[in-house]
Amino acid sequence: MAKAVIVGGSIAGISTAHALILAGWDVLVLEKTTSPPSGTPTGAGLGLNPLSQQIIQSWLPHPQLLHNTTLPLTIDQNQVTDSEKKISLPLTRDESFNFRAAHWADLHGLLYKALPPNVILWGHLFLSFDTANNDKGSVIIKAKVLKTGEVIEIVGDLLVAADGCLSSIRQRYLPDFKLRYSGYCAWRGVLDFSKNEDSETIMGIQRAYPDLGKCLYFDLASGTHCVFYELQNKKLNWIWYVNQPEPEVKGASVTMKVSSDMIQNMHEEADKVWIPELVKVIKETKDPFLNFIYDSDPLEKIFWDNVVLVGDAAHPTTPHCLRSTNMSILDAAVLGKCLEKWGAEKVESSLEEYQFNRLPVTSEQVLHARRLGRVKQGLVVPDREPFDPKSATPEDSKEELLQRNTPFFNDVPLLAPASIPTSI
């Protein structure tokens, strides 16, 4: 049986494991964290589109498990916040939005528990790989077992880089690659209100946002915007984008732990911008964190020999079209279909078709998300004046702001019917 080694056990890596196992491959996932998330508030919220829901359900022993751990997002609403009067007014509303809201840790746990045992090697730090013997179609991967310090070698037929937007595997092939800073960062947090459902804060936010539990809210103010929606198990997820110069990224992360002074300053700024009900939620959220928002210009190539990129390693993106997780899940499904179609003897043909299918889709989505983020943040875009929510009209805004205008929003085939390049 052909063997694939996947570097990275986040949602992109774990999704790829599911897809490749279904395609008949032996799979190992190397993940540096020492154990799976267990009931912790790891990560934040995400939205799953209908195709991702369908794909995930095909990987689960009981399809209803996905619905049991997510909430519906049937409405996509943009509203304008008047920061002086502290009121919000609806701008655009799409009531046929068919997403599901998930907490990162819940979705990860669902996918992890549905895998066969021993697929993920926890506490294994990827070190390097070698394709020197690639005439035999193999790749040699070195990893450190963090518990013992031992360095081990694993030989596989395919190496899948699911190691995120700062991918070290991608850097091997694209040494000059650099992420592009968006011009803004994001404060993020999840408020667990399961033990205080009747508090003044929760009753107030439910009055101010009457469709919580089924609506993806975007609050737009001058030069900033906030995303707000409910998650399963009485949690509220919020993201607040703030324009600022590029910070200094330390280490292999675009997430920053913040000081109490930074949180205090953020709370003071929130008071100036958002309605009081939202500010209370922000202030009562424990351990908010800061994301630096990056993307990259679309890559021209996402595989080399028997090494392939998936997820954020293949297409770093800003979060504005809820694409990152959805693109990762679809990457996994398409890669699995291609490997199953061509068989283990023709890995390069499989990867050629995977690239042929995914690059046009992800490239357009990354660039659309970039533009949408700049519009909502009031930043310069080439073909329009900076967006001012106070003067925005509903008709003009529908074209720009609604999620359903994302390229390939509802029509992404798992495999394109067009013929693939003759080089295969």
Q: Is the pTM of this model over 0.95?
A: no
Residue (of 212, 208, 211) closest to 193 by Cα position: 212
Q: How far is residue 97's CA from residue 48's CA, in Å, rounded to a whole number?
A: 11
Dihedral (C-alpha) 301, 305, 306, 307: value to the nearest 10 degrees? -40
Residue 134's pLDDT is what?
Answer: 57
Residue recorded with tokens 């922000």:
282
- The confidence score (pLDDT) of residue 330 equals 97
- From residue 59, give the alpha-carbon distance in Å to each of 27, 305, 353: 15, 28, 22
- Supply 204's token pair: 């107030």
pLDDT for position 137: 79
What are the structural domains, with CATH classification, of the chain?
3-64+106-178+297-386 (3.50.50.60), 75-101+180-295 (3.30.9.60)
Note the helical H segments in 285-389: 324-342, 347-376
Helix extents (H) in 93-218: 104-113, 168-173, 200-208
Mean pLDDT, each 10-residue run in order, the chain (424 residues): 96 98 98 80 81 96 95 96 94 95 94 96 96 76 97 96 96 95 95 94 97 97 96 95 86 75 97 97 95 95 97 97 95 97 94 97 97 96 90 88 92 62 36
What order do you get walking across the sheet with 255-256 strand by strand?
A: 87-94, 75-82, 215-221, 224-231, 235-243, 180-192, 289-295, 255-256
pLDDT confidence of residue 184: 96
**At 389, which amino acid appears?**
P
pLDDT of residue 422: 35
| Cα–Cα dist 52/99, whole Å | 9
Half-sphere exposure of 43 (CA within 13 A, CB side): 18
pLDDT at 423 (0 to 100): 35
Distance CA 64, CA 68 (A): 6
Burial of residue 334 (CB within 10 Å: 0-12, 13-18, 19+) is: buried
